[in-house]
Amino acid sequence: MRARRGSTMRAAGPFVYCLLSAALCTTTLTVQAADDGNEDATDGKPANLKSVTVQTSRDGDFLVDQSTVGGKFPTPARDIPQQVTVVSQDLITTQADISLYRALDNVPGIVITPSADTATGNNSNLRGFPARTDIYLDGIRDRGQYFRDTFALASVEVLEGAASLLFGHGSTGGIINQVTKKPQLQPIAAVSASIGTDRYRRGLVDIGAPLDQDTAFRVLLMDQDIDGTRPNVNTRSYGVSPSIAFGLGSPTQIGLSWLTQHNNDHIDYGFPMFQFKNEPILKPLQAPFGRTYQYTNAVVRTDVNIFNISLSHTFSPDAVFRSNTQYGIYNVHQNTAPLNTVFEALDANGNYQPVQPSSILAPPATPLDELAIAPQQKQRDGRDSSLFNQTDLLFKFATGPMRHELIVGGGFGRDEYHQLFFNNYNFNLNNGASLGANLAGVINLGSTNTQPFPSGAHVYQVPRCSMRTNFARALPIPTVRDQQSVHALWQRARLHAVRHDRRVHCREVGPATQRRECAQP
């Protein structure tokens, strides 16, 4: 009987809980109505509430409705049949994005990749494909190897998906387009300064003004000096971008601009990776965080100068001509020393011999001051230059319910790439025999390296390889965009295009194994 009574109570439990909850809810509502002091609620009549008006605007939501990457001309984002993300100037300023890398953090589908020995600067994968050479500046390929600052940018546009139809060879995963700030007919005056930890110092100046009723200028300045969280790590850079525009507000407009940026980066390779005795995998060396092993004058230096001339003429709202010519010079000097993963130990004759980490117990069993490595020096000088012109003619017309945009254009460009590598030898080591190419010195892991790269007597620098590539291309691009608008709620965009790219000439000069000639296919 007890068991049966307990079972009955458990079965009735949910029903009782529902009744209690309903009663409690009714009591709460009644008390609330009485507390409001509304007479209509007590005598059964409906209450007359006061109206509430809410007003707001879309200002400050970082929305950009147009993009230039989906059709060469400013196009509503809704009419671009691919994924387009536009990082606006307001968003860049709000987040204090000082580099292109930081601005791209707002874009899905992009993975930032580290700089390699011969690929310094901004490196990223867009939808899984390398996009280092798919970075553009105002619609023209910005092929240099440098870290791009945002001080001269009005926005960053990212078109994801195959874009070779509009932008030529490459562009498999998409393209990244930097849109620069332009002169305006309204006065501009902005100065900002930022300071922070690790000697973070950055200053920006943005000034501009009209010169007459249709001419204006603009000057942008940037200077920054930032240390790392470890010794001997520093980024020093400055940039200038003056521009002038003629014919603003008139059918014919001409723009002239110059962008120069200088970077001097003292880099840090962190701690070397070793697989010590009885350890299954490679691990970073366990050393004090503030200890650095890089040479004090290890540096990556880049100098960039980009000149641009643009011309546009509006024949009518449905016919627009535009021509853009850009010349860029990119210089890079790299002298760094990635940390080696093999130890060096002196033998009985005073010569350094390589020792594998697998034969040594990991610190602290082996004191750090008993370990030494020979960093592998990487030194090269590179120079990129490119001259490119893109000319387009836009027509808009309609056939019944179909609206069309016809873009006919062509481009011609010439790229030159020079690169010179060096081998460094130090014949002061191993009784005049040296350690080998690019093993110019030995550093002890027990303390911070305070020495520059070895130099002086019996230290030699030998050119190893020189490469040069020249090629030009002609790009006739007829493109048709159809937008069908039969009903206000139904719109469909189609993109049809025909494109032909042709490499005219390229040449690489170096050792016999790397010599290549390629003429017009």
Per residue of the chain (521 residues), give pLDDT as tens: 344 434 434 444 544 445 445 444 444 444 344 444 444 445 667 778 888 998 877 665 787 878 888 667 777 777 777 888 999 999 999 999 999 989 999 998 888 876 555 457 888 888 888 888 889 999 898 988 899 999 999 999 999 888 777 777 666 888 899 999 999 999 999 999 999 988 999 999 999 999 999 999 999 999 999 998 888 889 999 999 999 999 999 999 999 999 999 999 998 888 999 999 989 999 999 999 989 999 999 999 999 999 999 999 999 999 999 999 999 999 999 999 888 888 999 888 889 999 999 999 999 899 999 999 999 998 999 999 999 998 988 888 888 878 888 888 888 888 888 888 899 999 999 988 899 899 989 999 999 999 999 999 999 988 877 766 666 555 545 555 554 444 333 444 555 555 555 555 445 444 444 444 444 43
Residue type, 395: F
- Any residues with CB less than 8 A from the CB of 294 and at least 6 apart, and which? 232, 266, 267, 268, 269, 336, 337, 339, 375, 449
The pLDDT of residue 34 is: 42
Coil, strand or helix at 79: helix
3-state helix, strand, coil in the chain (%, to 5): 15, 45, 40
Coil, strand or helix at 60: coil
The pLDDT of residue 82 is: 83
Tokens of 374: 């020979």
Flag whether the pTM goes above 0.85.
no
Are 495 and 165 spatial neighbours (Cβ–Cβ below 8 Å)? Answer: yes
The pLDDT of residue 374 is: 93
Taking the C-alpha atoms of residue 232 and residue 293, their distance in angstroms, rounded to an integer, is: 10
Taking the C-alpha atoms of residue 235 and residue 223, their distance in angstroms, rounded to an integer, is: 11
Name residue 130's beta-bridge partners. 125
E strands in 356-458: 372-373, 378-399, 402-426, 443-444
